[in-house]
Amino acid sequence: MSNNIIVEREKALVELERRIAELREASAGQPLDMSTEVAALEQKYRQIMHELFGSLSPWEKVHMARHPARPTSLDYISRFDRFDELHGDRHYRDDPSIVGGFALLKSRPVIVLGQQRGRDTKENLRRNFGMPAPEGYRKTSRLARLAARLGLPIVTFVDTKGADPGISSEEHAQSEAIATCLQAFATAPVPIVANIIGEGGSGGALALAIADHVVMLEHSTYSVASPEGCAAILWSDAGKAEEAAARLKLTADDLRRFGIVDEILPEPLGGAHRNTADVVRRTLEAIDAALTRLSALSKERLLEQRYRKYRRLGEWHAEGLEPIARAR
């Protein structure tokens, strides 16, 4: 049994899908017309799909964002016109939980970077479940600096539970690696487009997400901490993750409202993995459109605009947010 509630739910559909396929097949070679039965089943199927996936709660979105079949960074990067991967942090090792390199997107040369989780246990072990170590962040800031020097736009894909919380990561100064990444993105005088394609977990996600334009898939999540982590921190009870998910305001709509996300891409009913090709195509189009728009700006304008964007975030007197009484 999967611990992913969306995967569990899909199992209920599999049986129905099988019966529809069987009936179709049977009716194809038969003089007997079974199209009404097929149509009835298909109607039923659509109805169930809507019931199951028509309106997802924040907790359901958390599971959708973690769905094992959800398109990963490489599913997007492999649809670029070209990709030449660059490896390593030049200090210690190559971290496979972040992939990056030169790429052509609709004939535009860019630097692309993405957090990469595995599709199966073996790949997940190699890629550390998409949780980058300092070496991954050092590779990222190195490539961001390269982009800045060559004047290439930066495109990132964010999909991580968070930065790796391990002994070696602490020994290699995870904090410094992320802090330096943030600085590289805040100062790169080139257009940056970030795409939240799965789970955006805390500072480990933000390290690749300071951008002029942030795109987020409808059912992705982006959060100050994982719901489990938040529940553990506040209530010492990771079991209250569902409650934390509801409180954290981690959905695309919430973040669009806060001005943290600039554009939401709708997903097919049932999630991005139900039509990966279409989701990837639309994402790349959105990136291309944003880059075209951003490339028209001067470096000075671009940096000033980016500074103001983050300067504004969390302003205490933002509209509708009245300050509570002062201490003294």
Partner 1 sequence: MPRPEWLPSRRGRETPSADTALWSKCPKCGEVLYRRDLAANLDVCTRCGYHFRMNAYDRINAIVDGEYTEIGQEVVSSDPLEWSDKKSYPAKLKADRERSGLSESVLCGFATIGGFPIALGVMDFHFRGGTMGRVTGERITLLLEEARRRKVPCIIFAASGGARMEEGMLALMQMAKTTAAVARFMEDGNFFVVVLTDPTTGGVSASFAFQADVIVAESRAVIGFAGRRVIEQTIRQRLPDQFQTAEFLLEKGAIDMVVDRRNLKDTLVRLLEYAKAPARAS
Residue 225 makes contact with partner 1 by CB under 8 A: yes
Residue 315 makes contact with partner 1 by CB under 8 A: yes
Q: Residue 328, SS3? A: coil
Residue 179 makes contact with partner 1 by CB under 8 A: yes
Instruction: Give least dist CB 226 to partner 1, A.
Output: 10
Instruction: Give least dist CB 97 to partner 1, A.
Output: 15
Residue 113 makes contact with partner 1 by CB under 8 A: no
> Over the range 104-131, which residues count as b (16 or more CB within 10 Å of their CB) and which as e?
ebeebebbbbbbbbbeeeeebeebbbbb
Question: H or E stretch including 154?
Answer: strand 154-160
Instruction: Give least dist CB 321 to partner 1, A.
Output: 5
> Over the range 148-160, which residues count as b (16 or more CB within 10 Å of their CB) and which as e?
beeebbbbbbbbb
Question: Which residue's CB is nearer to partner 1, number 248 or number 287?
Answer: 248
Instruction: Give least dist CB 221 to partner 1, A.
Output: 10
Rg (CA), the chain: 22
Beta bridge partners of 155: 112, 193
Q: Is 62 left (phi over 0), alpha (psi -120 to 50) or beta?
A: alpha
Question: Which residue's CB is nearer to partner 1, number 103 or number 197?
Answer: 197
Give residues 183-222 in contact with partner 1 (rule: CB under 8 A).
Answer: 183, 186-187, 202-203, 206-207, 210, 222
Token pair of 187 as six digits: 């100062």
- The residue ranges that bind partner 1 (CB under 8 A) are 163, 165-167, 169-176, 178-180, 182-183, 186-187, 202-203, 206-207, 210, 222-225, 229-230, 232-235, 243, 247-250, 254-255, 258, 260, 306-307, 310-311, 313-316, 318, 321-324, 326-328
